[in-house]
Amino acid sequence: MYEFYSVFYRYKIARMIKKIIIKLRRRRILTCVVLVILCGYVVLQTPLSPDLYFIHWGPLEDISCHYIDPDNTLPRAESGEFQPPSRSIFFHETSCKGDLDPRQACAVESAARAHPGWQINVLFAAPVQKNTLKNGSLSVLRNFTNVRLSRVQITNYAKRTPLESMVSGGALNRTRWRISHTSDVLRYLSLYKFGGVYLDLDVVVAKALDPLVRNWAARETDTAVAAGALAFSRDQLGRSVAEAAIRDIKNNYRGDVWGYNGPGVITRILKQQCSTSNLSQMSAATCNGFEVYGPQFFYPVEYWKGWEYFKPGEIKLEDTAYIFHVWNKLTGHLDVHKDSPFAKLARKYCPSVYKLYGKDFLLPVTLNSTK
């Protein structure tokens, strides 16, 4: 009997040890898996991260129009005849529609009205047909003598710049957000080539930018300098910042991170220019003359509150804000209430476009436009 119990207990002990070993192995495997995931996550947050633009749920945006030129009636921005003056504002439309929707047209009209002595350049990455110029928003904008509409063929536009090989090599087709990332590259190219002010097409300009210093950007939050409104002049400071931006894009372009080539560029540059990572401490005094304005001047309503522009109510910020950024990428699907802040801004600052579209101005826009 003793031998029986001895064998039985040895058997049970052996089974217990086996279970413990199996559990330890499973835990070891699980621990290894967790460590691999954590290491992968850490790497993805660093410059060592691979460009994973091809991981995308759905079809990629079609920007084939950027590289063709049928039926285009606009003068070419890459030609020698395109020589904008130093007081210039640049808008870039980088979808393939070859037109402006009502909200984009409002941005251009408001800029033109606020800056009668400036040249307002609207550069289309897609061909614009003759009928489009005769109808809709472009027919209204052409009545403003300071508005210039041009076609930009990006491959030619990048020639003889540090981005020539990157663009001609098709980098902008290797991205999840082809329309937005083309806009990112073009804004910095325009400021590099000509100097001036860049503005997104989802803004309403409430005041002239003349009182501002010549070189500036603006914080969107305490962690990001935005790229929706930028000014790089032709002076030494403006040239150095523009060149730094082009170098950053050339060396650090990422197709799988939405803001990496836009706000990421100016944020990284200014951290070096200002010798600080604390954005709230950035100013002309700490950034060698380059001003970093607070969000109240250009982004008075945060992007997560963008819907406030479209519901009935008031936003009493016109005395402070030069520009109202309305976040089309997040709000383009919203109807515009006739008593909303955005409708009131439009009636005041882009009355011609508002009158042209009437009730249609209050409808959602098609979300195939740039920011």
Each residue of 271-288: pLDDT tens digit? 999 999 999 999 999 999
- pLDDT above 80 (res 53): no
* Architecture, CATH, for domain 64-362: Alpha-Beta Complex (3.90)
Q: Is the pLDDT of residue 43 over 50?
A: no
What is the pLDDT at residue 59?
Answer: 77
- The conformational region for residue 98 under phi > 0 = left, psi -120 to 50 = alpha, else beta, is left
Say if residue 2's pLDDT is above 50. Answer: no
Percent of the chain with pLDDT over 90: 74
Across 243-272, average pLDDT:
95
Residue 296: what pLDDT?
94
Task: Give the Cα separation of 348 and 280 in Å (integer).
Answer: 33
pLDDT at position 65: 92
Q: What's the confidence (pLDDT) of residue 71?
A: 79
Instruction: Supply the pLDDT for residue 319.
Output: 82
Q: What's the DSSP call for residue 200? A: -
Q: Model's pTM, two decimal places? A: 0.86
Side-chain-side CA neighbours of residue 260 (13 Å): 22
Q: For 93-114, how does the pLDDT look when each residue is reduced to its tens digit (9 = 90+)?
A: 999 999 999 999 999 999 999 9
Instruction: Look at residue 143 in the predicted model and tell me its pLDDT.
Output: 96
Do 100 and 128 form a contact (C-beta atoms < 8 A)?
Answer: no
Tens of pLDDT, residues 140-173? 999 999 999 999 999 999 999 999 999 999 999 9
Q: Tell me, what's the pLDDT at 369?
A: 45
Most confident range, picked from 15-24, 187-196, 315-324: 187-196
Residue 213 falls in which region: left (phi positive, over 0), alpha (psi -120 to 50) or beta: beta
DSSP alpha helix (H) spans, the chain:
2-44, 102-114, 130-134, 136-141, 154-157, 164-168, 178-194, 236-252, 263-273, 328-331, 341-349, 351-357
Is the CB of residue 119 less than 8 Å from the CB of residue 84?
Answer: yes
The confidence band for 317, taking pLDDT boundaries of 50, 70 and 90, is: confident
Count CB atoms within 10 A of the CB of residue 223. Answer: 10
Between 352 and 61, the more confident residue is 352
pLDDT of residue 72: 87
Q: Lowest mean pLDDT: which of 27-31, 144-148, 329-333, 343-347?
A: 27-31
Q: Enumerate the domain spans of the chain.
A: 64-362
Residue 20 has pLDDT above 70, yes or no: no
**Per-residue pLDDT at 46 exceeds 80:** no
